[in-house]
Amino acid sequence: MNLPNESNRLVIVGATGSGKTQAALWHLSMRDFDHRPWMIYNFKSDKSIDQIPYAKNIGLDEIPIQPGIYVAHPRPDEIDEVEKQMWSVWEKQGIGIYVDEGYMVGRQNPAFGALLTQGRSREIPIITLSQRPAWLHPFILSEAEFYQVFRLNHKRDRKKVEEFIPADLNERLPDYHSYYYDVAANKTTVLKPVPEIEKIHATFERRLARVRKTV
């Protein structure tokens, strides 16, 4: 099974409590934040994100320069500020982006659209999560190279995702299992649950502690 490389776009979708956030953090824990900054837009103030050891909070008027994990907490009325910051990331290049709830970025956010369509050439890998894929910016699904799909409660959401991956999403998997689709390989795999959040946080702690000593 292939994992996303340092320029790929990964989409993880699933209903609340299905396991998508833990899976996304597992993916992030293996990415290259020891060589580049990764920004997390934590719209819902998810505790498992805020508890990442050595992660730094960042404002919407800041752009990280040093390697590490940086967490922003936008309010729903700060979409314009998010868009402006995303344009700055687009200009800076070489920064990873993790969006905790993709639909909250807005379907009419041209900066996010630019990151999704041009991010690969600008070395901006993206991880996007959502519980309602039918509400997402269209480029989130169309430009992804990898998809991870947990239980989706709404028929409309299942139908939307089935436009992009060859799987029958009406067939329910065991709890915390997911469909994982690699576009380039045209291969769908059923994944077992990812490690417990404590182990994922321990991976962050070990790797970010080394980053902290070198910056």
Rounded distance between C-alpha atoms, residue 57 and residue 92, angstroms: 19
pLDDT of amino acid 137: 84
Mean residue pLDDT across the chain: 94
| 118-169 pLDDT per residue, tens | 988 999 999 999 999 998 888 899 999 999 999 999 999 999 999 999 999 9
| 192-210 pLDDT per residue, tens | 999 999 999 999 999 999 9
pLDDT of amino acid 7: 87
This prediction's pTM: 0.94
pLDDT of amino acid 215: 64
Instruction: Output the CA–CA distances (angstroms, integers) from residue 167 to 147, 150, 172, in the order listed.
Output: 11, 12, 11
Rounded distance between C-alpha atoms, residue 162 and residue 141, angstroms: 11
Q: Is residue 40 pLDDT above 70, yes or no?
A: yes
* Average pLDDT for 175-191: 96
Helix, coil or strand: residue 104: helix
| 13-30 pLDDT per residue, tens | 999 999 999 999 999 999
Beta-strand relationship, 37-41 and 68-72? parallel
Detail the DSSP E strand segments found in 58-153. Answer: 68-72, 96-99, 126-130, 146-149
Rounded distance between C-alpha atoms, residue 71 and residue 56, angstroms: 6
pLDDT of amino acid 6: 85
| 83-124 pLDDT per residue, tens | 999 999 999 999 999 999 888 887 778 999 999 999 889 999
Q: Residue type for 129, please?
A: L
Detail the DSSP E strand segments found in the chain. Answer: 9-13, 37-41, 56-57, 68-72, 96-99, 126-130, 146-149, 178-182, 187-191
